[in-house]
């Protein structure tokens, strides 16, 4: 149990960093350095009240200074990051450090696009650069199949963007597809796109029927791309076999 607890602790710490990163990056603020503050009373949060997830639970989800409720945003990011890293460990996937970096980037993109409906170019091209570097270092022999997956996925979403004049697909999604498709390669990029459109359509229809959103205006497609991407990274081979049977 000790190794798993240690991995969870590392995951929670990295998730805490992602909470800061995803809050400050869209606002063009420095995400390295500077103490966290309560968004309501602006009181500086002490280190013992800033322990990932644990402090939130011990404080009952409230600020020690003003007693106001703390957003569940950070604990959820911390927990998702920790569970993702634990999943990489439990599944005994190859190149775990590389996959952890990709996981951190993907969670960051998911959160930012969900909240701000933008996908920062810095994160997309960092992920693409890491993927190309991993391929050059021999992560996978099917070098050309990875680039086929990337360019075909990006070109497909670009066509949707052009046909719908940007209403059905943003350029951020097009650029993200270049990174995600390159990492997954062909034909796993097909599984990823299928899952993305399936989940996006299902959630979109439900929200539209409930009159909670209008497609193309209030429903960002990026979260569906990123969530389906992680599923494809972890279980793409099994899903492909299932689709073909």
In this predicted structure, what is the pLDDT of residue 217?
A: 57
Give the tens place of pLDDT for each residue, 82-103: 999 999 998 888 889 999 999 9
7 — alpha (psi -120 to 50), left (phi > 0) or beta?
alpha
Q: Which two tokens stand for residue 171?
A: 């350029």
Q: Which two tokens stand for residue 242?
A: 């299932």
Give the tens place of pLDDT for each residue, 117-160: 899 999 999 999 999 999 998 888 788 999 999 999 999 999 99
By residue count, the chain amounts to: 245
**Beta carbons within 10 angstroms of residue 9's beta carbon:** 15
Kindly tell me if the per-residue pLDDT of 216 is higher than 60.
Answer: no
Classify the C-alpha dihedral 10-31-154-179 as positive or negative.
negative
- Contact (Cβ atoms closer than 8 angstroms) between residue 81 and residue 11: yes
Which residue has tokens 């943003």?
170
Kindly tell me if the per-residue pLDDT of 106 is higher than 90.
Answer: yes
Q: Which two tokens stand for residue 207?
A: 């929200």
Hey, what long-range contacts does 46-52 have (CB within 8 A, 24 or more apart)? 50/16, 52/12, 52/13, 52/15, 52/16, 52/78
67 — alpha (psi -120 to 50), left (phi > 0) or beta?
left
What percent of the chain lies above the pLDDT cut of 70?
90
Most confident range, picked from 66-75, 103-112, 206-215: 103-112
- Contact (Cβ atoms closer than 8 angstroms) between residue 9 and residue 17: no
More confident call, 38 vs 132: 132
Angle at 94 between CA 89 and CA 95, to 5 degrees: 90
**Residue 191 phi/psi, 5° resolution?**
-60, -45
What b/e sequence results for 28-55 when a residue is b if at least 16 CB atoms lie within 10 Å of its CB, and e otherwise? Answer: eeeeeeeebebeeeeeebeeebeebbeb
């Amino acid at each position: 149990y000790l190794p798993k607890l240690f991995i969870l602790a590392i995951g929670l710490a990295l998730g805490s960093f992602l909470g800061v990163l995803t809050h400050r990056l869209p606002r063009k603020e420095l995400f390295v350095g500077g103490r966290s503050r309560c968004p309501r009373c602006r009181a500086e949060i002490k280190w013992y009240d800033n322990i990932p997830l644990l402090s939130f639970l011990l404080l009952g989800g409230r600020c020690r200074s003003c007693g106001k409720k703390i957003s569940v945003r950070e604990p959820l990011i911390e927990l998702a990051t920790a569970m993702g890293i634990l999943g990489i460990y439990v599944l005994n996937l190859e190149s775990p450090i590389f996959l952890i970096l990709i996981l951190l980037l993907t969670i960051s993109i998911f959160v930012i696009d969900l909240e701000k409906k933008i996908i920062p170019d810095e994160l997309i091209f960092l992920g693409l650069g890491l993927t190309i570097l991993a391929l050059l270092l021999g992560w996978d022999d099917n070098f050309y199949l990875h680039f086929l997956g990337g360019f075909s996925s990006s070109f497909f979403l670009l066509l949707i963007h052009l046909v719908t004049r940007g209403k059905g697909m943003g350029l951020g999604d097009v650029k993200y597809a270049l990174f995600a498709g390159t990492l997954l390669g062909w034909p796993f990029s097909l599984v990823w796109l299928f899952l993305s459109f399936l989940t996006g359509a299902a959630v979109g229809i439900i929200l539209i029927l409930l009159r909670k959103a209008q497609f193309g205006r209030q429903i960002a497609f990026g979260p569906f791309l990123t969530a389906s991407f992680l599923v494809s990274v972890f279980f793409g081979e099994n899903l492909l076999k299932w689709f073909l049977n």
